């Protein structure tokens, strides 16, 4: 099995940025239905800034890459999702520490730290129709895969698949956090944009890390 190096973390982040560009309009459209119609733009702006930083900086460890993403997203994304994704990547970076290479269980631990960061920052509970509803099943699947001996790519694939289902399952939920909660019952019947973007980010990162 192959560990996740700084180079593969950079590749994962670049793929994440591409996925956000690819799905920018869709994410913004979802946010127009139950929010203020800026989620795709917010993330696209943030990941464009991440890409330009990666053109000039070469972080030496996976943790340093994750930290670069965190600080850049915090200062460029704005809205509710900026601090939330920023905290996710910051906690992920702290858990990765200065390890040169992450194995499957470490990748699962990094994802768990990201989830915990979002929950502690945003105080959303399960079923509140937020990105947490993608992150919780993603981490559960990642931890299960890691326990069964999965390598980093397989752990990320398991997480991505579960996040995709978690995002789809937000359709039937009524929002209780963020702007969508202002709609009350009218938020039912739409996918949560932050859960959807979380699933896209994980899928892109999974595809970029080599097995
Ligand atoms: P804003 O709502 O400020 O315009 P975005 O549109 O970028 O910010 O992000 C909206 C997304 O943020 C929502 O779809 C939801 O997934 C997520 N979100 C909002 N509030 C919370 C929260 N308290 N906890 C977790 N996620 C949240
Ligand atoms: Mg919005
Ligand atoms: Mg906004």
For residue 131, which atom of ligand 1 is closest to its CA?
16
Contact 53, 65 (CB under 8 A): no
Q: Using CA positions, which residue lies closest to atom 11 of ligand 1? A: 194
Q: What is the pLDDT of residues 58-93, one digit of tens each?
A: 999 999 999 999 999 999 999 999 999 999 999 999
For the chain, give the mean pLDDT. Answer: 97
Q: What is the ipTM of this complex?
A: 0.99
CB atoms within 10 A of CB 120: 10
Cα of 176 to ligand 2 centre, how many Å?
Answer: 15
Q: Using CA positions, which residue lies closest to atom 26 of ligand 1? A: 130
Q: Which ligand is nearest to the CA of 82?
A: 1
Fold of the domain built from segment(s) 4-208: 1.25.40
* Residue matched to tokens 């509970």: 125
């Amino acid at each position: 099995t192959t560990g996740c190096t700084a180079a593969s973390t950079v590749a994962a982040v670049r793929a994440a940025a591409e996925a956000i560009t690819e799905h920018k309009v869709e994410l913004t459209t979802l946010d127009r239905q139950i929010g203020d119609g800026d989620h795709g733009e917010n993330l696209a702006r943030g990941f464009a800034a991440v890409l330009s930083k990666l053109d000039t900086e070469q972080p030496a460890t996976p943790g340093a890459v994750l930290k670069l993403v965190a600080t850049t997203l915090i200062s460029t994304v704005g809205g509710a999702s900026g601090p939330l994704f920023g905290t996710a990547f910051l906690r992920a970076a702290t858990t990765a520490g200065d390890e040169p290479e992450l194995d499957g269980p470490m990748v699962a631990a990094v994802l768990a730290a990201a989830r915990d960061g979002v929950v502690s920052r945003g105080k959303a509970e399960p079923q509140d129709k937020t990105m947490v509803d993608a992150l919780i099943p993603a981490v559960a699947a990642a931890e299960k895969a890691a326990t069964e001996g999965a390598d980093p790519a397989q752990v990320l694939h398991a997480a991505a698949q579960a996040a995709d289902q978690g995002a789809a399952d937000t359709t039937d939920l009524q929002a209780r956090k963020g702007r969508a909660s202002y709609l009350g019952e009218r938020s039912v019947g739409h996918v949560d944009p932050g859960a959807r973007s979380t699933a896209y980010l994980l899928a892109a990162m999974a595809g970029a890390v080599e097995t």
